[in-house]
Structure 1
Amino acid sequence: MSHLSDHRRLARAQSPLVQLVAKTVELETTQSGLRGSCPFHPDATRGLYVHNSRFHCFSCGAGGDVVDWWMRLHRADEETAAAYLTRGASGDGADHDKKPC
């Protein structure tokens, strides 16, 4: 397994997606998971759904896991996102509340 895939796997295990999404999106509970307005485009329809460890926006098509969320939100590459999430989850004081660029 590559170094990057190890970081991604660790980030998924240590950084719960729902908690990360809830820091920037007001989520409501629905029958199919959690729903909110997608921060990646103007979203009056609240097309973003979070279920288990995945997110998907039915309006713009954005989707993925916690690493994909952080990459999109902060306009970062996969290696930076995975490394940031694993450092933050390990308690080094990383700021998960950072707003999008």
Structure 2
Amino acid sequence: MAQAQSPLEKLVAETVELQTTQSGLRGACPFHPDATRGLYIHNGRFHCFSCGANGDAIDWWMRLHGADEATATAHLARGTPGDSIDEHSNKPC
């Protein structure tokens, strides 16, 4: 049976290829060159063991798009895909 994705998992999956692990999901962190795939997602939180990036869906969107918390919160509340309409979405990872 397929497991439903959390909002964070959906956001991360837009930019990162994720693999299932025993404790959650794992992928290459987009915030630095990451050959070790040090990014982990578990219980609605992300953490990169290489660069230390961590947080929830709002933190992910803020960091990925260079936005402030109010912008990220408003964007996520609209349910808009993470890489669409905002002017911050043109910023490189």
Number of residue equivalences: 82
- List 4+ stretches of structure 1 deviating above 6 A: none
3-state DSSP of counterpart to 2:12? helix
Report the TM-score, using the length of structure 2 for normalisation.
0.82
**Structure 2 residue corresponding to 1:60, chosen from 44, 48, 51:** 51
One-letter identity of the residue aligned with 1:96: G
Residue number in structure 2 paired with 1:85:
76
Unpaired segments ≥5 residues, structure 1: 1-14
- The structure with higher relative contact order (CA 8 Å, sep 6+) is 1
One-letter identity of the residue aligned with 1:80: T
Q: Which has the higher helix share?
A: 1
Classify 1:18/1:95 alpha carbon distance in 2 versus 1 (closer, same or farther; 3 Å): closer
The alignment's C-alpha RMSD in Å is: 1.5
Establish whether residue 97 from structure 1 lines up as the match of residue 44 from structure 2.
Answer: no
One-letter identity of the residue aligned with 1:77: D
